[in-house]
Amino acid sequence: MLGKVDSPSGLSKAGGNPFTEPMTDAEIADTIQAFATAAADAKRLGFDAIELHGAHGYLIDQFFWSGTNVRSDAWGGPTIGERGRFAAEILKAVRAAVGPDYPVIIRLSQWKQQEYTARLAETPKEMEAWLQPLADAGADIFHCSQRRFWEPEFEGSDLNFAGWAKKLTGAPTITVGSVGLSGEFIAAFGGEGSQPTSIDNVIGGLERGEYDMVGVGRALLQDPEWVTKIREGRSNELKAFERAALGTLY
């Protein structure tokens, strides 16, 4: 086994074998305080906001997901609301550390690096039970990560993850996931490129008020002038994404 690694239940994926010991109550308390200290330090150093990474199978997300959180104490449970306590306590501690007017963002995802098809919320009711306590605890903005932002989150509605998060909580949201490109980023790790695509559907969501901001990743890694080209209507000059851009800093 590896040395001690922070983990709710010592699992890296659903149904897997433990690779470390579950976090103790004391370790959980220390971790919550560490997030708060880091947030206060960021504010003191002049950052305009902080964002907690609660997505993609990282620590906070491991507590959310029933596949990696099988605890039977106060930090686990059968519902997403119960498993969300760790994130909520972090947000409360962060909010206390930075004050009421400092922007606090949390990034969230249904999918995990360990399981692309994982779902934390199968219905709008479950999503509300997941997100509302986080908003109540101090999250100002939800950064809603999808592999493909244009995909509806639930059957019977065109709203994506960010759209539903805003509808259910009233909080501002950020949408992200293959914006401006034809293919999703997981395929990029296998060497697959992506062609530039229209962002009319992104703009449409903004104009309809479904979400408030848009995150752009690979398109900017490939083409640092992407925003300028979009603003000036020079879409014919946009560059196709190639995997090599992941290892290059412009």
CB distance 88 to 54 below 8 Å = no
| Angle of CA points 29, 35, 37, to nearest 5° | 100
Question: What single letter denotes the amino acid at residue 221?
Answer: L
- CA torsion through residues 54, 59, 65, 71, sign: negative
- Of the candidates 59, 75, 18, 113, which has an alpha carbon nearest to the alpha carbon of residue 10? 18
CA atoms of 98 and 81, how far apart (whole Å):
25
Catalytic (active-site) positions: 58
- Of the candidates 234, 195, 198, 201, which has an alpha carbon nearest to the alpha carbon of residue 218? 195
